[in-house]
Amino acid sequence: MTHPAPESAPGQKPFTIAICGGGIAGLALAIGLLRRNVPFHVYESAHAFSEIGAGVAFGPNSQRAMSLIDPKIKEGYGKRATSNGYEEKKAVWFDFHAGMDCGIGKAGEKVGTVIAADPGNGCIHRAHFLDELVALVPRENATFGKRVVEVEELEDGVRLHFADGGTAEASAAVGCDGVKSNLRHAVLGKEDGAAHPEFTGKYAYRGLIPMEKAVSLLGDELARNSVMWLGNHGHVLTFPIEKGEIMNVVAFHAKKDGKWEDEKWVLPMDRQTMEADFQDWGESVKKILSLMEKPDLWALFDYPPAKTYFKGRTCLIGDAAHASTPHQGAGAGMAMEDAYVLSNLLGAVQRSSDIETAFRAYDAVRRPRTQKLVTTSRDAGELYELEKEGVWDDADKLRENLGTRYKWVWEKKLEEDLAEAMGILGGKV
């Protein structure tokens, strides 16, 4: 199976890109390539485009990246996204409260607020955002039931080997296959420890609550706006999705032995087990958990730092490159940034022999920023769960940390990253 560049298409590049994975990262890249006349084909392991999980946050940098890739992405996001319910809280990322009697305050006490940079913060159901992306990708540009298990380097391209025994050829491959990436193995080698995800020592219960039920127990303000409850070795966050009809809940907790031994990373869980983890917490948190009838438990894994995001004609973006914990709310946004930079670089390439140079430029610019996210996101988890040295019992130091923690993510001028990458590309082709 080969998907070559259509010879008759005017203005199209004389090469084709295999996008391995049809999640948010893969489809954002596809849309960027489509707009820049770069032929591509998406290979998705599932039998339809799909996303697991519920609500996902997109900060200011993410939303700017959407517009820069293609304004239609931002338009689709705008149709489905939800911000805080109170007008005076539209710019609030989270209000932070003590979730239990602890070193930073009494249970329920507000201990800080973080204001998002322009254009603010929004949340959206993952599946609904994916629907908006799917609508922008031609159906004939995707094949389903195709899980890549190996990448073979050819003289002028790559051959993909699929789990079903089939193959496909392309000028280059981009791995968008997530935290269990086989393309990461192709880039780093299976023997490299960084090729394999690591358990972070934390897990999360996830659930959705009808907003009216949440309001009846928590009151209007706490239910309709984003709130993070902090405590010893755990934290709970809530925020509205579905235009305020649903409250998304994620309750994080540290695993006592720091190990994950189940082969599955997502497990159905009963409410009683979840409530036992938070038995010493305050009434507000207990009320939230009481409304989660069938929570799922998610083990949190991330990737160790990689020495490179590319090898030859194979490159990694999104979680396949830099899977992180969700504690800074920036993982999906970094995937958007990746897609913006890489789609523009490939759009500037005139011949297939220069694709590797484009990958090298992408790696030079994107790897330092995205791997910083992996590190600082773990650190944020320790901060929220009052495990960070010098902060766990000092509300003033907590507020100081929160006040500066997100600026480097949100305030980045993405065009500068692209200009730097284009400078690297331009000097070598």
Residues marked as catalytic: 206
Which tokens belong to 40? 């591509």
Token pair in block for residue 158: 């790559």
Instruction: Report which secondary-structure segment, H or E, holds 33.
Output: helix 24-35
Residue type present at position 200: T
Contacts 24+ apart (CB under 8 A), 70-76: 70/31, 70/32, 70/34, 70/35, 70/136, 72/31, 72/136, 73/28, 73/31, 73/132, 73/133, 73/136, 76/129, 76/132, 76/133, 76/135, 76/136
Q: For the chain, how are helix, strand and coil distributed in percent, rounded to 5?
A: 40, 25, 35
276, 282, 285, 290 alpha-carbon torsion, rounded to 10°: 60
CB neighbours (10 Å) of residue 337? 28
Please answer whether residues 151 and 172 qualify as being in contact, where contact means their C-beta atoms are separated by less than 8 angstroms.
no
Instruction: Name the β-bridge partners of 160.
Output: 151, 168
Q: Hey, how many other C-beta atoms are within 10 angstroms of the C-beta on 235?
A: 26
Dig out the tokens for 338 from the structure. Answer: 């990746």
DSSP letter (8 states) at residue 86: S
* Backbone Cα Rg of the chain: 22
CA separation for the pair 305, 323 (Å, rounded) = 10
**Nearest 5°: CA angle at 410, between 82 and 126?**
35
CA distance 250 to 238: 7
- With a CB cutoff of 8 Å and minimum separation 6, the contacts of 274 are 205, 251, 289, 292, 295, 297
Q: Please give the Cα distance from 289 to 343 (Å, whole number).
A: 42
